[in-house]
Amino acid sequence: MRIFLVCFVAFISLINCQIPPFTEECVDNAYPPPESRKVPSYVVNLDLPAAQRWTHVVKNKGPEIKKLLDEFKSFISDIFNGSQAIVNFIDKEGPAFDETLPQPFADEMRGIANATGLKLGEIVFFNIFYEFFTVCTSIVAQDPKGTLYHARNLDFGLFLGWDIKNNTWAVTELLRPLVIIVDFQKGGQTVFKSVNFAGYIGILTAIKPKLFTLTMNERFNKDGGYIGLMEWILGERTGQWMGFLTRQVMESASGFLEAKVMLSNEEMLAPAYFILGGNKTSGLYQQGCVITRAREFVVDVWDMESANGWYILETNYDHWSAPLFLDDRRTPAHHCMGNMTQQGVSIKGLHNVLSSRPVLNKLTTYTALMQVDSGHLEVWLQYCPDPCIPW
């Protein structure tokens, strides 16, 4: 029923020529947001046994994770005409799938299940879902002095529970209370920092201080993650989970070039865009790039120097192709970057660009802002009151 309602709303909007309502706005006064939107921070001690690392992070988050999982399951049930077969399969077979995952990730998920009181199958499912529904805008930019910044909006929840009364996406609303900053440490020292949804152990947004920054955007492609997921369920497990690969990169890569190689060579379950920023803007080339990945191989590596010279920007479409006309966040984002100019590149400037509609939209859960040389990471919850797309 909800799938029908979402499609109906989209259809009516198209008839009324309300999509895309891309009245571009380039705001200059969105920073700083109210303190109430600041995201809390936690330390995850990598020296602890894997099953104990996340206990203090998730022990009070069980009810919120459960609400989100129930929404996921309801969505799946709707797709299959009310059938509970897939949901029952997840609950029953999830623990067995956990045993197929590499360490320490399997034990970390077991620990999260114990700490929250949720089923292990549900926690596995919770960690799978982000492979397929992450719609984002990522930017790497340098200021006139050569300082590199990396910023992103993480948008999540399209078609996942439209609330007609409040004009919001249910999953997007349920995700915001779960957004956290995680400081991964060894020996009491920061290895890297990331932005996570509590209970999710992979990496979508992260900074390795003084070395490199990384964000992941979903790539819509015919060899999409659903195929990889089905292969994994059926026992063909040659590909990496995207979130596990990015976690390994953040833990082990010694710099931009090693991270670039790791993100380019590993076979994955789902295609993706990896947006990578380094710490150098001189020499042979600037350390900023977008790695366009198919599941088995690299399709393209697009460097910042050839992209624009002072910034590179990726949404969810190949940079050499036009974006979907219903979802053109790219053109307004470029417009706002040009309006800001390189002189305006800063934490404040990039937050303003990412707070400009339709780059900011109803699916935006948070904006993350990173400065690699200082290791700075700040994260703000985002909201987009009407009028705002989608819908």
Question: What is the number of residues in the chain?
Answer: 391
Which residue is catalytic, options 7, 26, 136, 384?
Answer: 136
The distance of Cα 302 from the centroid of its chain, to the nearest Å, equals 20
Q: Which of 106, 142, 146 lies closest to 124, judged by CA?
A: 106
Report which of residues 196 and 99 the model is more confident about: 196
CA distances from 147 to 123, 280, 310, 336 (A): 39, 8, 10, 20
Look at 157-161, 265-269, 318-322, 378-382 and tell me which has the smallest mean pLDDT: 157-161
Reported confidence tier of residue 347, pLDDT bands at 50, 70, 90 = very high
- Residue by residue, DSSP assigns 5-31 as HHHHHHHHHHHTT-SS-------S---
Indicate the pTM of the whole model.
Answer: 0.91
Give me the helices (H) in the chain, please.
2-15, 55-58, 62-79, 85-98, 105-116, 120-128, 170-175, 225-233, 242-252, 256-265, 304-307, 330-340, 347-354
Instruction: Dig out the tokens for 275 from the structure.
Output: 């947006």
Note the pLDDT of residue 21.
47
Residue pair 54/107 in contact by the 8 Å Cβ criterion: no
Q: Rounded to an integer, what distance in angstroms lies between the CA atom of residue 31 and that of residue 185?
A: 30
Residues 249-306: pLDDT tens digits?
A: 999 999 999 999 999 999 988 899 999 999 987 655 679 999 999 989 999 999 999 9
Domain ranges (residues) in the chain: 2-41+136-381, 49-129
Instruction: Dig out the tokens for 130 from the structure.
Output: 């982000």
Q: Rounded to an integer, what distance in angstroms lies between the CA atom of residue 259 and that of residue 252?
A: 9
Q: Rounded to an integer, what distance in angstroms lies between the CA atom of residue 65 and that of residue 79?
A: 21
Residue pair 391/361 in contact by the 8 Å Cβ criterion: no
Residue pair 381/364 in contact by the 8 Å Cβ criterion: no
CA distances from 45 to 186, 214, 321, 340 (A): 6, 21, 42, 39
**Domain 2-41+136-381, what fold?**
Penicillin V Acylase; Chain A (3.60.60)
Whether the upstream peptide bond of residue 95 has omega within 30° of 0, thus cis, is: no
Q: Burial of 10 by CB count in 10 Å (0-12 exposed, 13-18 middle, 19+ buried)?
A: middle
Report which of residues 95 and 113 the model is more confident about: 113
Q: Rounded to an integer, what distance in angstroms lies between the CA atom of residue 217 and that of residue 124?
A: 21
136 has catalytic annotation: yes
